[in-house]
Structure 1
Amino acid sequence: MSSTESLLTREQRPLPATPTRPYSEELGAPPLPTIEKDKPTWISRFTTDVVSDLRSTQWKTLGKWYLLGFWTYCLFTTAVVLPVYLYLIGMSSFPFEGLIETGLRSPGCLPNDAFDARSTTYNIFDPSGFFQITHGFGDLTFTQVKVIDLIWDIMVGRGGQTMLAYFSWKAFSTYFWLSMSTQPITYNSFWAIFLDRQPSLVGIYRVIRDFVSHQARRSKSIMIFVPFSMLFVLVFPIMMSAMTGYRPNLAGFVADTTNSLIPFEKFVLAAYVLHDGERVGYGRDFVVPFMFGVPFFEIRKQMTKTLGRSEAFQLTDDGYFAEASVRVCEQWRYREACELPWNVSQYVEQYGFYGLDNKTGKPAKIRTTWKGEFIPEPSLNISAFYIPPGSYFGHGWTDPETKTTPFADSSNLALNIQGTNTLYTLDYVQEHGSCQQQKSYQWGFSFLQVFLMAILLLIWTSGTYFTWLKAHKTLEKQVQLDEVDKEVPSEFKSALTFASTVQFEMAMAGKEKPELSLTNGQLHSAIQRDLHGGRIMSTTSEITTNIPEQYNPMKEIWSLCKRRWFIFPALVFTTLCMTTLVLLPIMTFFVAGAIVLIPLHTGFVFAISIGSTSRSRGFFAWAGFIGMLIGAVVGLMVITRGGA
């Protein structure tokens, strides 16, 4: 008995607990029903799973995976998915006014500086555009484009090289430190990888030479990838500088019959001629444009946007041109522009061309109606140029005398400077047109070089990541996770390891320790002569020659895909969302891409990386999808309001 209990009296001590019956049982009444706790609803289960996953998330690690996934996905879309998508839908020839709509490039001037009055499409894979600024923007002064170019070279060129060199060193140093446990490397390779972090031609040559000399001991993929990566990092600033640049803005002009330069934007597409137009308030031989007040280049651009096909601008492709013309005229902003040609079309459909009756082919000496008003006989003398089928009346009209359809011949297409009666054929405009430099400049890049850079960056990213992942995961089997980075030598530890190894091998070869008084040439000769280039292995106690089976990244990825089966459909869906935006203007493309991709990518990354249950994974995926829809709706509202 404790001292505390001894101080208590018998009455003060607690009585032993005895089982008691409910009061209702003592009275003989039926027992009271037990109250069960409510089962959790599906909302509470969702909330519990999501909150639990968010609380257990390592945000720093998640951020790294988010950036890596975003970077890799953008490269994959640009380098692989986008070209395949363009090839499958037959749009390797983009309407450049839709893809890169700067608002500054003059109509008729293609991205390769050539004048083309027939088409506004440009083959983005044309080799002639490799060193051309095919995608430019801005109405800038020379000073402004120079500043932009300088900032690009420093921030993206040199800054990007520094980042690539750092990540390459992290991956290769870890891999070779693992490899050195069983296979020594030469002093040259150790120096190039662990000490000289900045790639150089000499270092690349030494690494390639050592790999070739010891190719039986090395992984062939590593033998190829390491020199490639070093060379890529070395030339990265040069490639980034070559793919961008500046040039003067261009304007399209056409020399008329007096050799005066007329802006191409003043040319309109001619449809009809009112030979006696003074009878209805117009001048003699009044040329009726295809769309009144709308330049020829604007018609082409709107027709391409309406159909979404490059063939819409090919004037010999009758069906597409005609279908687009009807749709464009139905738009509210072009109804007034189409009013006059539609009136002419209805008139000639009812009364005929050239003042002839459509049925008899004789002069129609009858009273006719023009815009609801009667005009005395004879009927108006109206002729036409090339009329696409399905647009205005005239394409299928048959001349009663010649039994031909003159207005169905696309060679009769004519252009006109609005306000004059002078007509020009398309061949004349094409032959006498040119692109003239303006005072302002634009800054941009070459699509082919960007495409090539995306492929190289995708290869470098994949190879570097798999190299690091394989070495890092294998080292974790021998060294604690927080000790991996400490065991890989860098900076002073690399220098100390290198110096001690040289001294040790010199002693083992029976030579005296190298003195500091030796020159670089003498020390190099001694190493080549006595040590045959030298060999260095990792001497860390934790990393032994008994290395277990190395980590296989592809097996891990396949296992992840089986556990997270929705990864592939998510990637396909996101890719389709991005690739369908390529017809937008460049700034709208980037904004729309950010609106669509960022919420969707965030939801999928959360679902894949931190979702531990199907409920939480579904919540994150749907949250990303809904965020994408909200952003898309808001973006469409902004774009529509801006277009209005």
Structure 2
Amino acid sequence: MSPKPSKQRSRCASFWKDGHRQARADIRKRWRTGGLQFLAVAWLTGVVLSLALLVRLATTTDLSSLTSDRFVACQPNGLPDIYPDRYRYWAGSGFFQITLGWGKLSFTQAKVIDVAWDIIFARGGQALIAYISWHVFTNYVTTSMETGPITFSTYRTVFLRNESLVFAIYRLFRNFARRRQLHSRIAMAFMVMTMIFILIFPSFSSAMTGYSASVKSYVRDNSNVETIMANDNNNYMAFSSFKRILYVIHDGWRVGEDGDFVVPYHTPYETKFTDPVLFSSDYFDSQIVACTRIRQSIPEDSRCQAQLDVAIYVGQHGFHGLANVNSSFRGTLLDPPALNITAYYLPDDSLGANWTDPYTGLQPFRDFSKTMWSYQNVTYNIQTISEQLACQPVKTYYWGFSFIQLNIMLILCIIWTIGISAMWIQSYMTMKQRGRTHVAGEYKAVLELAHAITTQLHDAGQASAKEVLDLSESELRRRFKKDLNDGSIAYEAPLMSTGQHGFKTWLLAEMWWLAAILVVLGGFFSLCLLMPYAFSWVLGGFLAALVLTVCIGTTGMSRAVLLGWGIMVFCGLPLAIWLPVMYYTYYLNG
């Protein structure tokens, strides 16, 4: 029985050694290609996820998932509205406005960020996209030239790139439309559209960002005639200092309070509200009602206590002091009549919304339009707040994006990434099958173009090689158009394939790995969109390890080793750092 464990250990040791040996060989051979493939997948995943998060932000009806900057009366477009949930990010009026901004910045800080964005992302991004695109274009056109010729003009535009992008777009479009085409019309259209995308990229990147003065909501005080006539800014009252009224005890002196004791709305939870805004849904009302629905667990000194005491009292004795009975409020015994309590809008029966006026037979406190606010013992109704609410600039700035333009940019980036990846895969697989290991660079392209021009002019019987060199530029152009019909240049295709597998064969071979990536990718996206505070980054780390394994590993043992180390690096290491930090933050520091 003893040899079996020894044999198993020997197999494990052999697998460990051989797996690491093969993994090292794959890394040395494929680190550059595999790394670029990994970065491309990571880029596409990040862009698609960003777009999905933006769409979720614009379409969500779950107000609890919104950040505190949405719970204010000044909307992202800088206009006042006491209903912040009515704002729509897709509104056309916000196309040129910074509707997705962050920060409390000085003017200098905002300007530095904006200039840095224009230089690094706009110009740098244009250079990077242009470099990648032209590199893929040369590969693809090279494979196309093995099946059919292209014009001198197209060859010069793709391989030499020595003219303005505007003229290059026109020249390429003209050649594809009127003269020789590539073997794929979709590829031709994509090349032209990509060149247009490269041209507009810096301008669009700059237009979709910017900085703007931060604003704060105020209510204009029209009670002071002198300040109104003088247009004095001092008669603006901060809306954040207002309170929504729930009850008013008009004879508060009977229970040790002011004559008109105001009981404002409260909730037992920490809220994101900066301003006392309203919502079309019952999101905030449901939190207010919690004060009366979980009364057993509310401590006596909580913010809910006054609201709860009044709710219990009016539930027993009603409103307006109509009950001519002895009563008790907060331990104080009261002679008849009951306290004279009035209310405005009450969102739930537990607060007294179901009370019926004995004189009218109506339930007046269910009317949402009777919502009131108070500020320094003065009450304001919905109409007054809506009319006098204004957003005034403060001393700070924020920097950000136009939501609509950012979505357009992300969609364009997704289309470009998918298209350029498909074109690269097609050309890469084709070149491997045909045994081509390189494409013409700048110098080789000059030699190939010069050789083709000289040969075709000579074959046309127009001039010798020496005579061609003596021709002027205008004469050469005329002969190209008249005698050569803009010329043609092509490569000889190999008669036999090298035996390398094509894309379909690779797809079938990697089917299970790709399926695993798609499953993990779906789970990662679901966590990020549905539960953004969950451990989505752990699944993201596993996804990164899986993709890197497929990009670099070529054998089963190599991929097993790479996947194991990838999980340790992308999942285990961040988790080992995160857990002690969370323990120190929440337990040791309270």
TM over 0.5: same fold? Answer: yes
Letter in 2 for 1:74: G
Please list, as runs of the form range in 1=range in 2, the aligned pairs for 1:4-83 lying within 5 A after superposition.
38-40=6-8, 51=20, 54-58=23-27, 59-79=31-51, 81-82=52-53
* Mapped contact 1:199–1:230 kept (Cα < 8 A): no
Percent identity, aligned pairs only? 29
Q: Distance in 1 between matches of 2:299 and 2:540?
A: 35
* Mapped contact 1:353–1:381 kept (Cα < 8 A): yes
In the alignment, what sits opposite 1:135?
100
In the alignment, what sits opposite 1:399?
357
The alpha-carbon distance between structure 1 residues 439 and 619, as it changes in their structure 2 partners (threshold 3 A), is same
1:506 aligns with 2:469: no
* Mapped contact 1:145–1:442 kept (Cα < 8 A): yes
Q: CA deviation at 1:383?
A: 0.8
CA offsets 1:75-127 (integer angstroms, 9 cap, x no match): 22234x4477678xx51x685x965556xx89311111111112245322222
In the alignment, what sits opposite 2:259?
284
* Mapped contact 1:133–1:245 kept (Cα < 8 A): yes
Q: Distance in 2 between matches of 1:642 and 1:440?
A: 36
In the alignment, what sits opposite 2:147?
182
The alpha-carbon distance between structure 1 residues 149 and 107, as it changes in their structure 2 partners (threshold 3 A), is same
The alpha-carbon distance between structure 1 residues 99 and 405, as it changes in their structure 2 partners (threshold 3 A), is closer
In the alignment, what sits opposite 1:612?
556
Partner SS for 1:155: helix
Q: Distance in 1 between matches of 2:495 and 2:164?
A: 30
User: How many residue pairs end up in the alignment?
Assistant: 567
Q: Distance in 1 between matches of 2:193 and 2:307?
A: 63
1:343 aligns with 2:306: no
Partner SS for 1:355: coil
Q: Distance in 2 between matches of 1:205 and 1:133?
A: 34
Asked which structure has the greater CA Rg, the reply is 1
Please list, as runs of the form range in 1=range in 2, the aligned pairs for 1:427-466 lying within 5 A after superposition.
427-466=383-422
Q: Identify which range, 214-223 or 168-177, moves more after superposition.
A: 214-223
| Equivalent of residue 161 in structure 1, options 110, 114, 126 | 126
* Mapped contact 2:147–2:183 kept (Cα < 8 A): no
In the alignment, what sits opposite 1:322?
285
Q: Distance in 1 between matches of 2:25 and 2:53?
A: 37
The alpha-carbon distance between structure 1 residues 444 and 85, as it changes in their structure 2 partners (threshold 3 A), is closer
Letter in 2 for 1:374: L
Letter in 2 for 1:40: Q
Partner SS for 2:175: helix
1:531 aligns with 2:531: no
Q: Distance in 2 between matches of 1:559 and 1:404?
A: 74
Q: Distance in 2 between matches of 1:642 and 1:214?
A: 74
Partner SS for 1:147: helix
Q: Distance in 2 between matches of 1:328 and 1:508?
A: 95
CA offsets 1:245-281 (integer angstroms, 9 cap, x no match): 1111111111123252111111111000010011212
In the alignment, what sits opposite 2:445?
494
| Equivalent of residue 386 in structure 1, options 345, 348, 358 | 345
* Mapped contact 1:133–1:244 kept (Cα < 8 A): yes
The alpha-carbon distance between structure 1 residues 456 and 292, as it changes in their structure 2 partners (threshold 3 A), is closer
In the alignment, what sits opposite 2:188?
223
CA offsets 1:64-84 (integer angstroms, 9 cap, x no match): 2321221111122234x4477
| Equivalent of residue 257 in structure 1, options 207, 212, 222 | 222
Letter in 1 for 2:112: V
In the alignment, what sits opposite 1:473?
429
Partner SS for 2:451: helix
CA offsets 1:446-481 (integer angstroms, 9 cap, x no match): 12212111111111111112212211221122326x
**Greater length-normalized contact order (CA 8 Å, ≥ 6 residues apart):** 2
Q: Distance in 2 between matches of 1:101 and 1:643?
A: 25
The alpha-carbon distance between structure 1 residues 467 and 333, as it changes in their structure 2 partners (threshold 3 A), is farther
Q: Distance in 2 between matches of 1:332 and 1:615?
A: 55
| TM-score, normalisation: structure 1 | 0.78
* Mapped contact 1:267–1:296 kept (Cα < 8 A): no
Partner SS for 1:291: coil
The alpha-carbon distance between structure 1 residues 388 and 106, as it changes in their structure 2 partners (threshold 3 A), is closer
* Mapped contact 2:521–2:543 kept (Cα < 8 A): no
Q: Identify which range, 150-159 or 138-147, moves more after superposition.
A: 138-147
* Mapped contact 2:244–2:265 kept (Cα < 8 A): yes
1:556 aligns with 2:531: no
Q: Distance in 2 between matches of 1:129 and 1:635?
A: 40
Letter in 2 for 1:137: W
Letter in 1 for 2:76: P
Q: CA deviation at 1:522?
A: 3.4
* Mapped contact 1:107–1:297 kept (Cα < 8 A): no
| Equivalent of residue 356 in structure 1, options 322, 334, 338 | 322
Letter in 2 for 1:537: A
Q: Distance in 1 between matches of 2:188 and 2:238?
A: 59
Q: Distance in 2 between matches of 1:126 and 1:94?
A: 20
The alpha-carbon distance between structure 1 residues 133 and 46, as it changes in their structure 2 partners (threshold 3 A), is farther
* Mapped contact 2:250–2:260 kept (Cα < 8 A): yes
Q: Distance in 2 between matches of 1:281 and 1:142?
A: 50
Structure 1's unaligned 5+ residue stretches are 1-32, 304-312, 358-363
The alpha-carbon distance between structure 1 residues 66 and 293, as it changes in their structure 2 partners (threshold 3 A), is closer
Q: Identify which range, 141-150 or 403-412, moves more after superposition.
A: 141-150
Q: CA RMSD in A?
A: 3.9
Structure 2's unaligned 5+ residue stretches are 229-234
The alpha-carbon distance between structure 1 residues 549 and 269, as it changes in their structure 2 partners (threshold 3 A), is farther
* Mapped contact 1:178–1:471 kept (Cα < 8 A): yes
The alpha-carbon distance between structure 1 residues 559 and 628, as it changes in their structure 2 partners (threshold 3 A), is farther
Q: CA deviation at 1:39?
A: 4.1
Letter in 1 for 2:359: E
Partner SS for 1:70: helix
In the alignment, what sits opposite 2:232?
none
Q: Distance in 2 between matches of 1:328 and 1:208?
A: 69
Partner SS for 1:262: strand
